Amino acid sequence: MNILRSEKNRNTDRRKRALELIEIFVVVTICMVMYFHERGKAVQPGGNTLPALGDHVLFGTYLGEPIEWRVIRTAENGEVVLIAENILTMKAFNAADSGEFNCDDDGNMYWSVNETEADRNMELQAYVRGNSRWADSDLRAWLNSDRENVVYDGIGPVTSAMSAHKNGYASEPGFLNGFTRQEREAIVPTENITNGNALDGGEVSSTDLVYLLSEEELSWLVEADVNIRAKPTAQAIEQDQTAWYQMFSLELGLETYYWWLREPVPDMASNCYVVDIGYKSRLLRGDKAVGLEGYGVRPVVKVDTGRITLLPKESEIDVSEEADTTDMDTLEENSREQ
C-alpha cells in the first residue's frame, strides 16, 4: 500500500509540474505577443524591421537636410508608404504654357473679379493658368527626377509663368537629386489612377516614384493617426519668395499651411484641391489655380524595406557626403469650397 501511495504521489507531482510548465509557457507566450503587439513591428526575412503605422523615419535629404517621413501604409512584403511629416517646399503645381500667368499670346489679360473667357473656355483656362492634370504636371516631373537639369514638357516652371512671378523652379535640381543611389533604388514605382479634369474624358493613369495624395488617400493618414494638417519646414519658409505663409497662416495664429493634392477640381481645367490650413471646418479648398506658386508640397513615396533600413527619427545621419547623382529614368472632405 505504501508503494502504491508513493507512486500515486509521484504521479500527482508530475501532473503538478506539467501544469506549472504549461502555465509558465502560456504566460511567456502572452507576454511575447503583447510585447510585439506594442512594438507594432514585423520582422522581415532579411532581418530588417518593418516600421509600424504612424512611425517617424528618416529617408533622403532635401535642401541639405534629412527628410522626416511618417508611415501611412504597410504591407507583408516589406513595402511601406511614407508621407513627408512637413511641407518641404512651396511650388506651383503646373506652369501656364502661355509663359505669362493669366495672359494669352496676344497680350490679353484674364485678371478680373468677374467671370472672364478663361473661366468659361477650359482650353484657354489651362493654357493661361496651367493644366491641373497630374500626369503631365511640372510638379510631378520635378518630384520624379534625380537630375540636376530636370526635363519638362513645354516651357517648364519658369518664373514668368507663376502668378506673382516668384518661386520658379525650372533650374532647380529634381527632388530625388538629394537621395543616394541606394535610396532611389529602394523606392518602388506606384501605379496611380487620378481623376481627370474638365478636359479629360475620364481617369488618368501614371507611374510614379514620388507623388501626391488623392482626396481618397487622405484616409490613410487617419488610419495611421498622422495629422492631415502640416507645417512647412524652416528650409521651406526660407526658400519661399511669396510670404504667403505669413499672410494666410501666421497672421491667423496658425502654424499649418495649404498643401497640394494631385486631385483636380472636376469641372475646371486649372484648379486642384489643396488641404486647408485649419482656420475653418472645411478640409479641402478647390478654388486655387495650379499656377499659384506659394502653396506647399508634401511628397509621398513607397519604399522597399528589404532594400534599405529606414532609420528612426532620432537617428543622426551624415549629410555631408554629396548624394550620388547617377541618372535615372523619370517614372512616371469633410467639406469643399469650389
Edge to edge, the sheet with strand 300-304 lists 210-211, 300-304, 79-84, 65-74, 56-62, 311-312
Residue of 336, 208, 205 whose CA lies nearest to 265: 336
Neighbours of 171 (CB within 10 A): 12
For the question of whether the overall pTM of this predicted structure is more than 0.75, the answer is yes
Q: What is the pLDDT of residues 227-280, one digit of tens each?
A: 999 999 999 999 999 999 999 999 999 999 999 999 999 999 999 999 999 999
Residue 43 and residue 29: Cα distance in Å, rounded? 17
Mean pLDDT, the chain, whole residue set = 86
Q: What is the pLDDT of residues 122-175, one digit of tens each?
A: 999 999 999 999 999 999 999 999 999 999 999 999 999 999 999 999 999 999
Indicate if the pLDDT at residue 5 is higher than 80: no
Q: What is the pLDDT of residues 83-98, one digit of tens each?
A: 999 999 999 999 999 9
pLDDT of residue 164: 95
pLDDT of residue 128: 97
Residue 74 and residue 20: Cα distance in Å, rounded? 39
